[in-house]
């Protein structure tokens, strides 16, 4: 029996015939995503076109190097795919150069550091207790092992980035690079202020825009590209592409960035993912994506307000983005217990560290529910379901579970699933 017959073998039916065990897992996960409320701030539903590119025979192709300069034969068409992805990324974000090969957001940050820094250099980034990412100096991560990180925080009263503190720390520690970006900061970042701080001490500015980059594409958040030397991003959050990373910079750093990705930190490019990134960039350039990005923010604002009205403490008293962080303590429940109760009711989200709060808080986002077509009215309903579930009790969980199922059933991400 031929292993490969035609591209259309990459369908659920083919998988079902050949490997029912794995097909069952994939179909089960597909149902889980559609049957519960996806409030994980870093997730979204990619389009069928993105999924088609991901499941295409481009997955078979080895392509070390860059378009026109590959170590493998037969790269003419994947070269075309990568050139399209690069051109679309540059146009979408107004960047002089784009590298679309990073396998993930973390790989993109690793490559940015490799391009600009040497082991032992000092880097100033948001401290992990305030919302810094693992790659911003966590001791368990390469960043904390190989660089000397200094952490800045947020103001204890407002929860906003303490720019005077960032400036003071920069002057004191003279970092080689300043990193701005976070896993949980719900407000816009003042890239111009960070640029000034970096310039003041002769440091590079690296923007880790993993979270807001999709809002940037849709014109709903400020663009770091004009301010940062290097911008790192993921392609799978609000941007709604495949799981992966990307780096944007000016032409003057293009070669250093490219060489930091390949051959320094990665091998062969994942051409199916790069094609899928190109599809997502194309979608993000369409007017409908601008509407989407603004609705994501409107939904997050509405949800934050409704959750606050139900008694949750919302960090910074609201949001400018897709992302909300909340302390459920006023409802008498800690973050971990809250996540468990919400999960039992079909509401899926993360816990996260909250500045100046002991224990874990909750992090949620509106990218996925907005892709499903929900708007402010549904956010008000979600807030009520959310707080009912938080108050606990098996009977309440069952009732909320049924209501969640009814709600998401009206907004199927990929049409009706059998």
Among all residues, which ones are annotated catalytic?
Answer: 62, 64, 208, 234, 237, 243
Strands 323-327, 360-365: pairing is antiparallel
Position 135 contacts ligand PLP (CB under 6 A):
yes
Give the range of 21-29, 75-83, 179-187, 340-348 binding ligand PLP by CB under 6 A: 179-187
315 C-beta neighbours (distance < 10 Å), count = 28
Position 234 contacts ligand PLP (CB under 6 A):
yes
Cα distance between residue 165 and residue 153, in whole Å: 8
The answer to whether the CB of 221 falls within 8 A of the CB of 244 is: no
Closest contact distance (angstroms) between CB of 236 and ligand PLP is 7
Position 104 contacts ligand PLP (CB under 6 A):
yes
Position 210 contacts ligand PLP (CB under 6 A):
yes
Burial 94-105 (b: 16+ CB within 10 A, else e): ebebbbbbbbbb
DSSP three-state, residue 48 = helix
Position 187 contacts ligand PLP (CB under 6 A):
no
Q: Among all chains, which residue has been given the structure tokens 């059998």?
A: 418
Cα distance between residue 248 and residue 224, in whole Å: 10
Position 181 contacts ligand PLP (CB under 6 A):
yes
Position 109 contacts ligand PLP (CB under 6 A):
yes
Closest contact distance (angstroms) between CB of 122 and ligand PLP is 20
Position 186 contacts ligand PLP (CB under 6 A):
no
E strand or H helix at 258: helix 254-259
332: phi > 0 → left, psi -120 to 50 → alpha, else beta; which? left
Position 33 contacts ligand PLP (CB under 6 A):
no
Phi, psi of 130 (to 5 degrees): -100, -5
Position 105 contacts ligand PLP (CB under 6 A):
yes
Position 42 contacts ligand PLP (CB under 6 A):
yes
Closest contact distance (angstroms) between CB of 197 and ligand PLP is 19
Strands 148-152, 122-126: pairing is parallel
In the bound state with ligand PLP, the residue whose beta carbon lies nearer, of 234 and 316, is 234
Cα distance between residue 274 and residue 242, in whole Å: 8
In the bound state with ligand PLP, the residue whose beta carbon lies nearer, of 85 and 345, is 85
Position 352 contacts ligand PLP (CB under 6 A):
no
Give the range of 46-54, 207-215, 273-281, 377-385 binding ligand PLP by CB under 6 A: 207-215
Q: How many residues bind ligand PLP (CB under 6 A)?
A: 15
Strand-pairing partners, residue 148, are 122
In the bound state with ligand PLP, the residue whose beta carbon lies nearer, of 142 and 411, is 142
E strand or H helix at 393: none
Q: Candidates 88, 211, 305, 401: give the one binding ligand PLP (CB under 6 A).
A: 211
Residue ranges that bind ligand PLP, judged by CB under 6 A: 42, 104-106, 109, 133, 135, 181-183, 208, 210-211, 234, 245
């Amino acid at each position: 029996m031929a292993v490969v017959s035609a591209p259309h073998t990459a369908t659920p039916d083919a998988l079902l015939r050949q490997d029912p065990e794995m097909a069952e897992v994939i179909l089960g996960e597909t149902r889980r995503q559609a049957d519960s409320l996806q409030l994980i701030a870093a997730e979204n539903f990619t389009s069928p076109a993105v999924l088609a590119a991901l499941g295409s025979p481009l997955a078979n192709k080895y392509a070390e190097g860059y378009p026109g300069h590959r170590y493998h034969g037969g790269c003419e068409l994947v070269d075309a795919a990568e050139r399209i992805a690069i051109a679309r990324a540059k146009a979408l974000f107004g960047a002089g150069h784009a590298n679309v090969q990073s396998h993930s957001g973390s790989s993109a940050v690793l490559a940015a550091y490799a391009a600009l820094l040497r082991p032992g250099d000092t880097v100033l980034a948001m401290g992990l207790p305030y919302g810094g990412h693992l790659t911003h100096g966590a001791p368990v991560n390469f960043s904390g092992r190989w660089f000397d990180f200094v952490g800045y925080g947020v103001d204890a009263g407002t929860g906003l980035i303490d720019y005077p503190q960032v400036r003071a720390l920069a002057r004191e520690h003279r970092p080689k690079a300043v990193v701005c970006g976070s896993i949980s900061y719900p407000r816009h970042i003042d890239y111009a202020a960070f640029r000034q701080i970096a310039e003041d001490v002769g440091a590079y500015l690296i923007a880790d825009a993993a979270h807001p980059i999709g809002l940037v594409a849709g014109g709903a958040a400020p663009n770091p590209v004009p301010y940062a030397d290097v911008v790192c991003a993921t392609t799978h959050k609000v941007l709604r592409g495949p799981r992966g990373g990307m780096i944007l910079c000016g032409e003057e750093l293009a070669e250093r960035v490219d060489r930091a990705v390949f051959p320094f930190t990665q091998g062969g490019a994942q051409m199916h993912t790069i094609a899928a990134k190109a599809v997502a960039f194309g979608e993000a350039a369409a007017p409908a994506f601008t509407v989407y990005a603004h609705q994501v923010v409107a939904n997050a604002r509405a949800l934050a307000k409704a959750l606050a009205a139900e008694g949750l403490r919302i960090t910074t008293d609201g949001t400018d983005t897709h992302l909300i962080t909340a302390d459920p303590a006023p409802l008498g429940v800690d973050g971990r217990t809250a996540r468990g109760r919400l999960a039992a009711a079909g509401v899926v989200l993360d816990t996260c560290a909250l500045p100046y709060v002991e224990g874990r808080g909750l992090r949620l986002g509106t990218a996925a529910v907005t892709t499903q077509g929900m708007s402010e009215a549904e956010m008000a309903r979600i807030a009520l379901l959310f707080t009912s579930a938080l108050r606990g009790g098996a009977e309440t969980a069952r009732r909320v579970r049924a209501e969640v199922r009814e709600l998401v059933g009206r907004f199927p991400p990929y049409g009706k699933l059998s």
